[in-house]
Structure 1
Amino acid sequence: MRVTDESDNNPADFDLAVVGSGGGAFAAAIRATSLGKRVLMVERSAIGGACVNTGCVPSKALLTAADARHVALNTAHFPGISTAAEGVDMAELIAGKQALVEGIRTDKYVDLAAHYGWDLRQGNAAFAGTQEDPVLDITAADGSKNSVRAGHYLVATGSAPWVPPIPGLPEVDFLTSTTAMELEEIPESLIILGGGYVAVEQAQLFARLGSNVTVLARSRLLSREEPEASRALAGVFADEGITVVHRAAVSTIGTDAATGKVVLTATTPGGGEQKFRAVHILVAAGRRPVTEGLNLAAVGVETGDLGQILVQDTLASSNPRIWAAGDVTGHPEFVYVAAAHGSQMVENAFNNAARKVDYRHLPRVAFTSPAVAATGMTDKEANQTGIRCECRVLPLEYVPRALVNRDTRGFIKIVADAGTRRIVGITAVAKEAGDLAAAAVYILEAGMTVEQVANLWSPYLTMAEGIRIAAQAYTTDVSRLSCCAA
């Protein structure tokens, strides 16, 4: 069955044409097919997008492996337990990671596309036609081309690692978060440029596998989160032998002819220049939307300074028939954001739902160990919006689960409106802190106050109990509470 674009009465081949095949693309395609719409998906590379192929899945798989080795090497705090860990066979570790990636890609992407029955094509896509009548030109690997017309289009092409314009960087063999996942030997030494989520995860990953790691951060670690989180993570890194240099501005990069090592010159907080040397450099300075080659201007789609597609809070672009989802919008770079975008876009395009993006209670997690997680506003953000805040920071030494784990590195922080005591933000540095962030979503969505949370049921000897204890800290000296009868 052919569908018709009501705006110009031209026959359309599909109701929805999706460029990309990641989380946002699949969420949109699944929802659209469930509505009976005819869907085309075009992917120029591996099916599944960055998350399954080069991002979330491979990095977390390797982080879990590195954590297992770290635990085996550090069991002195558990009396009576003795373990050991030998060297790492990096090639075998990477092969295992790749097998996991391929299995998930097949089960959760390729087979799902076949199950739902949309048209999946490999090739490069670019827009053509006019703003009023956009079409999609698809070029296959063999050079063959064809054009399709759809009632609506979704661009979900994601983002890619950004390489800053540092003199000398293009001349060295640097790594990115993508290529680092393919190394078959553990670097003896590694310098990481950046202090964000990807940088801190990669730093701990390689340090725990045996690399001598130095992190050069332009500001502080996880600079958008609470300063307590940065300090706690820096302390963890120091304990694990990871060198962190804050407020480091790299000026030049080159290669030492005698040793073959990469040499970086950076201005450090003292005001002087310092040189850093390592076998490898990993650039984790952020990501940029992938829009090059899509010919968006030809069909009236506006983009921003970083190449992102500018969208309304409904996810419609400046062309009402062309939508965008996920990293390509420049919005928060989490796969669950992309998936939410994909579903929302379909509801807005085909059901006139007029749904809007709302990030007020968006959870954020850095999968270090202990993890760093947050939901809602930081103390600073709340104050900037005019909220007079009252905060409590609960060290993990007051959380029974952390005591049993014999790891009290970290804290739980609650940010509340001083007038209403309504909780507006929760941050945690703790084992499985991501689960605390999920609980925080429900607390913030419900508009709960610290008094309500302080009096909720909470299972004993769980890390989530720490949220309740942190809420109790508003009215109680928690150091005087019995651990079993708080």
Structure 2
Amino acid sequence: MTTPTKYDAIIIGSGQGGTPLARALAEAKYKTALIEREHIGGCCVNDGCTPTKTMIASGRVAYLTRRGVRARKRDIVREFRTGNEKRLKEAGVDVLMGEASFVDGKTMVVVDGEGRERVVRGEKIIINTGCRPAGAVLDGVEKIAKERVLDSTSIMELGCVPGHLVVVGGGYIGVEFGQLFRRLGAKVTVVHRGRQLLPREDGELVDMLCGISREDGIEVLLETTPVRVSGVLDGGFDVSVSTRQGEGVVKGATHILFATGRVPNTERLNAAAAGVTLDNRGYVVTDEFLRTSVSSIYAIGDVKGPPSFTHISYDDFRVLRSSLLESKGSSSRLSITDRIVPYVVYTDPQFGHVGLHEHEARKKYPNKKILTAQMPMSYVARALETDESHGAMKAVVDGETGSILGFSCLGAEGGELMSVVQTAMIGNLPYQKLQDAVFAHPTFAESLNNLWGFLK
């Protein structure tokens, strides 16, 4: 083995936590290396939020006026990626392109695309390798042309709109892409084995979203499991499914999207050589300060397990920056304990959520008086003015203190409305402060004056 290049810190993966952390460490005079096997910026910039939300935004415009989608997505991704690369270099980070694996707790070997090896040694190592789409598992799927078997990454590189897209999985990825490609002109069938789309979300709001999807012309098959692919021809294939009523067939599919989850990128890390503990699904186990089972090795982002959101990865960066650069062992350093988790599903209308759902609040606080308030978006003046009155909003409240425990909104600008409520939750404001606030008129936010009148 060649003599290793020594670093104060090595970061494996350049996602939304790893990239700013590398800059922060380098700017603090740590000799820092960032190892990335594919693209600077990680999943969010290259395969996740940036390209998907760019396409979804273009898809909405295409739904109205028809315009190009894939080219715009590529331009935005290229802009974000090159910006990240430039800032890393300006900060003095050594960017090593290749696949990294542990030799021991402080030593790694990096193999580039041409098979050349480089050995590096770090006093601190941060694992930020993220996740990837789960593979396509279905009897007979190998008979379909590879370009017709899609995941959340490859679907964005299609050169044409599918004739009939079958989406396996009704989670966040499935519903976003299902609606997008329906609006681009594809026939879409969503096959979901659960009783409702978006299984974690409030059932009443999800039922509304399911209705909106069906209004768009999407066939939604619930409590349905794909069994096999059959009747494969040059132009298409059938998908046999199992339902509560028995066997059925989705006929005439041209493409199939597997949106059934993601798996951590840890199998090539050789984590055991470093003594890093993985759980039974392959995620890196960390404590509240993001330390692994090895005190000098940390993990941030999706590779440490759910919740798997870009903004959580970025908050992981802040937590680890606090530990490594700011607090110097202080008991006041940041941790991931009890952080408020928001997210948005970019359907149209959006589905925004923060905090606890009703069923989660009742389970977590069995002795509290839990109240809920639900109001349809058709009661929101701004929604009526813009002719976007589908959906509803729902809040979960501690009936004794007025504390807001959670909030969901299926509606126009649902993510922005959620963020207003999240701000109140961060400030520990009771719902009465929003009920009595003076919001500008006409805005979506002023609906937060009226929502609380539905508490029960």
TM-score, normalising length: structure 1: 0.87
Deviations 1:115-139 (A, max 9, x none): 211111111111102x4xx201111
Match of 1:377 in 2: 356
Alpha-carbon spacing, 1:142–1:459, altered in 2? closer, same or farther (3 Å): same
Equivalents in 1 of 2:455, 2:137: separation in Å?
48
What residue number does 1:262 align with?
237
Report the Cα offset of residue 268 of structure 1. Answer: 1.9
- Following the alignment from structure 1 to structure 2, what is the Cα–Cα distance between the partners of residues 112 and 60? 23
Q: Residue 394 of structure 2 corresponds to which residue in structure 1?
A: 413
Residue in structure 2 matched with residue 305 of structure 1 by the alignment: 280
Which one of the candidate residues 97, 116, 124 is aligned to 2:73? 97
- For residue 33 of structure 2, the aligned residue among 35, 40, 63 is 40
Query: Per-residue deviation at 1:336?
Result: 1.0
Q: Distance in 2 between matches of 1:252 and 1:142?
A: 38
Letter in 1 for 2:356: M
- Map of 1:304-383 to 2, 5 A cutoff? 304-350=279-325, 351-353=328-330, 354-383=333-362
Partner of 1:4: none
Q: Which residue of 1 aligns with 2:250?
A: 276
For residues 407 and 343 of structure 1, the distance between their equivalents in structure 2, rounded to whole angstroms, comes to 37
Residue in structure 2 matched with residue 450 of structure 1 by the alignment:
431
Q: Which aligned pairs between 1:41-440 and structure 2 lie closer than 5 A?
A: 41-72=34-65, 85=66, 93-107=69-83, 109-129=84-104, 131=105, 134-163=106-135, 165-172=137-144, 173=146, 174-219=149-194, 220-254=196-230, 256-258=231-233, 260-269=235-244, 271-277=245-251, 278-350=253-325, 351-353=328-330, 354-385=333-364, 386=366, 387-440=368-421
Contact 1:360-1:377 within 8 A present in 2 as well: no
Deviation at 1:193, TM superposition (A): 0.7
Verify the 8 A CA contact 2:54 2:72 in the aligned structure 1. no
DSSP 3-state at the match of 2:161: coil
Contact in 1 for aligned 2:27/2:92 (Cα 8 Å)? no
Contact 2:132-2:263 within 8 A present in 1 as well: yes
Report which stretch shifted further, 165-174 or 406-415.
Answer: 165-174
Measured after TM superposition, the shift of residue 95 of structure 1 is 2.3
Number of matched residues?
A: 443
Q: Aligned-pair distance for 1:168?
A: 2.5
1:276 corresponds to which letter in structure 2? Answer: V
In structure 2, C-alpha distance between the alignment counterparts of 1:259 and 1:97, rounded to whole Å: 29
Partners of 1:427 and 1:437 within 8 A in 2? yes
Alpha-carbon contact 1:26-1:339 (below 8 Å) kept: no
User: Could you say if the C-alpha distance between residues 360 and 17 of structure 1 is closer, same or farther in structure 2, counting changes exceeding 3 Å?
Assistant: closer
C-alpha spacing 1:258/1:50, structure 2 compared with 1 (3 Å):
closer
Match of 1:294, SS state, is coil
Does structure 2 retain, via aligned residues, the 8 Å contact 1:27–1:340? no
Deviation at 1:342, TM superposition (A): 2.0
Please give the alpha-carbon distance, in whole angstroms, between the structure 1 residues aligned to 2:32 and 2:143.
43
Question: TM-score normalized by structure 2?
Answer: 0.93
CA deviation string 1:68-122 (max 9, x = no partner): 12234xxxxxxxxxxxx5xx6xxx5322321221111112x11111121111111
Query: For residues 8-29 of structure 1, what are the alpha-carbon distances to aligned partners after superposition, in whole Å with 9 as ceiling and x for unaligned?
Result: xx99821110011111111211
- Any idea what the Cα deviations from partners look like across 1:165-207, whole Å, max 9, x if unmatched? 4323344331001000000010011000111111111001100
In structure 1, how many angstroms separate the alpha carbons of the residues matched to 2:234 and 2:110? 47
Question: Residues 405-452 of structure 1: CA distance to partner in whole angstroms, max 9, x if unpaired?
Answer: 112101111111122222101100111111112112111122222222
User: Structure 1 pair 335/304, CA: closer, same or farther in 2 (3 Å)?
Assistant: same
Are the equivalent residues in 2 in contact too, given 1:423–1:449 (CA < 8 A)? yes
Equivalents in 2 of 1:169, 1:332: separation in Å? 30
Q: Supply the distance in 2 between the matched residues of 1:93 and 1:373 (Cα, whole angstroms).
A: 24
State the Cα distance separating 1:258 from its structure 2 match. Answer: 4.6
User: What residue number does 1:15 align with?
Assistant: 8
What whole-Å deviation, never above 9, does each CA across 1:374-425 have from its counterpart, x for those lacking one?
A: 0100000000112431111000111111010112101111111122222101
Q: Indicate the residue corresponding to 1:465 in structure 2.
A: 446
Q: Which residue of 2 aligns with 1:483?
A: none
Residue 314 of structure 1: SS of its match in structure 2?
Answer: coil
